[in-house]
Structure 1
Amino acid sequence: MKEVWLHLVKWDKKLVTESLESGVDAIMTAPELIPKIRELGRMAVIAPEAGDRKMPDDVEIVIIKNKDDEKRAAELLKSKAVVVRTTDWDIIPIENLIPQGGDRLYTFVRNLDDTRTAAGILEKGVAGVVLETDEPGEISKVVKYIKEIDSETYGMAVLEIIGIKNIGIGDRVCVDTCSNINMGEGLLVGNASQGMFLVHAENIDNPYVAPRPFRINAGAVHSYVRVPGGTTRYLGELQTGDPVLIVNKDGRTYTSYVGRSKIEKRPMLVVYAADGAGNTCSVILQNAETIRLTAPDGKAVSVAELKVGDRVLGYIEKGGRHFGMAVEETIKEQ
């Protein structure tokens, strides 16, 4: 995932505070400023011979004035992160370096316009940007832009319910996240990674229990759940602090974090569905009125009211998963 670093040349409490609050990934600075940064909060720091990543051992700055400088940067990219500064903000050297180590290549930017350019070079863009600014407001704009363009998007499928069956008691996982989740949003969960359902957050008013907009009553412990980075986890292994991927009805996503994961014995049911191409999938959920899937228009549909022929949202993919990673081989999960 693309990162945003702040280049802090001199002490500025407002810049550091905004970096912490906006979600900047690291601050590049001088060693003597590290204690002041630590006083305000926990933040990854990059500094000469100090910090979480040290310069030049882990990160090196290269000023590119000619082809020899570009060649030096390319060689360094084989073993460490490189931050390049080009003369007159020329993007040609960056275009040349991305194919040689774009996942370690960073570049200095001054504002949101520079960031848009750096992130879009050769479509792939750099691994991250190092922002040089005196304006705290510029930090939040750059971070917001980078996180939005770097978020994963899924092509949501409309699934038709073909069966519902009660199966008795099982261990179900209730995921309380660190975010208040909106209507039409939830987690992608399924019995198999090839077919997953958009399980809606518990943010609906009902006569039985108060809404919990941070909560997703997600399913049985064995179920796959989508997490950032195009991978999956088992619901039963999620713990406090783990990242999860919140997905909306249009397939747009953002990352939240597990605040608490509760595993309790509850009555369960299986929902079976198929897409328009005949691909079938299923999910095991708690049998309760407050557990909901998501309709194509984003509305929540209670499993207590679900019936054959209803349509809900999900995600279908080809291939299988090995330790959460997609693999191209024949895997049948049933």
Structure 2
Amino acid sequence: MTAKLCWLDIRGAGETKRALCEEAVHQRFDAIVADDPADLAPLPPTVTRVLAPAGDRLPDDFGAADLVLIDPRIHAEPEVSFGEWHDVTDPESLERACAAVRRAGITVLTFKDPTNIPMEIVLAAAARSAGTIITTAARIDDAIVHLSVLEHGPDGVMLTAPVPGDATRLAAAVRAPSAKLALDTFTVTGVRHVGTGERACVDTCTYLRPDEGILVGSWAKALMLCVSETHPLPYMPTRPFRVNAGAIMSYTLADAEHTRYLSELTAGDTVLAVGADGSTRRVTVGRVKIETRPLLAIDATAPGGEPVNLIVQDDWHVRVLGPGAAVLNTTELKAGDEILGFLPGRERHVGYPIDELCVEQ
């Protein structure tokens, strides 16, 4: 995915302007927007200095501005790099915005109403155009929502009512890398029927790929890759959003660093979906379905000889992934079979990695 642009609007910031600018520069924001050229003068060349003049008349001197945002209905094109700012408030202004984003250049868009439909229309109108679209948002949560509209969102977002700390939070949310995990191959040493207990199905709000699932394990130091229910079954339809993950005390990854117990997951949480190639993405949990079922313990060893264990529902349709994204029915596993997994490398305390003595057996 192309990196998203982060802009900061300091026009209404008052006495906090300087602090907000320092934070945005430190967080490597792409642009800072002001209505007074004097506010742009102290900014370093590492950030694009954007002037958005107030009123109907452009100033005679743009100062250090690298880009000037104009209202094309009012302003003539200035003798500097310019972009357009459109407030979408009705069908007519929406049409003007759609025309603007089809042109090469920078278009900043503000949407009046609390619906994403106008934004969807504009993004669709801009498909395959060479321009850059920046949408405005007053809050971090709104900015993050913007970036997923029509899957890909605009090219960037601009915070219009920032407070200290917002630039840091937006940078962390927008630029958090999607980690790629170095998966290992575990060798099965045996499977055991271990009685009855509660197992958890993790139902996500996402279509999972055939080579994708979540990492689950009885011990935080070694997790196996449980595949999603995207593969056909003879007696029931597929559930491409679901992973029949394991016993409720099992660990899974909420992100590349932190673990959660399956029993702790609730609607709205996130888990890390992991592909057979180690690629990852955070997906939202829609539901965790816990039911009493017969259980099966899978014992294995990691490449360095470390013991690995996973307890799952004792049923043929519960599956794990092997090398090459091979789909393996857990009840048919035998000694010598290979399963993909991950060794987090550190012990855990309330989900956080920690260096201390911890024995799991």
Cα distance between partner residues in 2 of 1:147 and 1:326: 24
Tell me what 1:252 maps to: 279
Q: Secondary structure at the match of 1:230?
A: coil
Partner of residue 243 from structure 2, selected from 216, 221, 237 = 216
CA change 1:151–1:76 in 2 (3 A) is closer
Partner of residue 266 from structure 2, selected from 239, 242, 245 = 239
Task: Answer yes or no: is the 8 Å Cα contact 2:246–2:312 preserved in 1.
Answer: yes
TM-score for both structures, normalised by structure 1: 0.63
Cα distance between partner residues in 1 of 2:175 and 2:300: 31
Partner of residue 276 from structure 1, selected from 303, 319, 324 = 303
CA change 1:147–1:168 in 2 (3 A) is farther
Cα distance, 1:189 vs structure 2: 0.4
TM-score for both structures, normalised by structure 2: 0.59
5+ residue gaps in structure 1? 8-27, 31-46, 50-54, 63-72, 94-107, 111-131
Cα distance, 1:235 vs structure 2: 0.1
Kindly indicate whether residue 107 of structure 2 is the aligned counterpart of residue 134 of structure 1: yes
Q: Secondary structure at the match of 2:107?
A: coil
- Cα deviation, 1:170-199, whole Å, max 9, x if unaligned, reads 100011100110111100000111100000
* Backbone CA RMSD of aligned residues: 3.7
Q: Secondary structure at the match of 2:263?
A: helix
Q: Secondary structure at the match of 1:304?
A: helix
Identity %: 30
Kindly indicate whether residue 328 of structure 2 is the aligned counterpart of residue 301 of structure 1: yes
CA change 1:92–1:180 in 2 (3 A) is closer
5 Å-filtered alignment, 1:1-334, equals: 4=4, 7=7, 48=12, 61-62=20-21, 73=22, 83=29, 85=32, 90-91=45-46, 133-134=106-107, 136=123, 137=126, 138=132, 140=152, 142=155, 150-334=177-361
- Cα deviation, 1:114-154, whole Å, max 9, x if unaligned, reads xxxxxxxxxxxxxxxxxx941845453747xx979710221
- Cα deviation, 1:242-279, whole Å, max 9, x if unaligned, reads 01100001111001111111110000010011122111
CA change 1:318–1:211 in 2 (3 A) is same
5+ residue gaps in structure 2? 33-39, 49-65, 69-104, 109-122, 127-131, 134-151, 157-172
Q: Secondary structure at the match of 1:250?
A: coil
Tell me what 2:76 maps to: none
CA change 1:59–1:165 in 2 (3 A) is farther
Larger radius of gyration: 2
Structure number with the higher helix fraction is 1
Q: Which runs of 4+ in 1 moved over 4 A?
A: 3-7, 55-61, 74-77, 81-89, 135-139, 146-149
Q: Look up the equivalent residue of 2:107 and give its one-letter code.
A: D
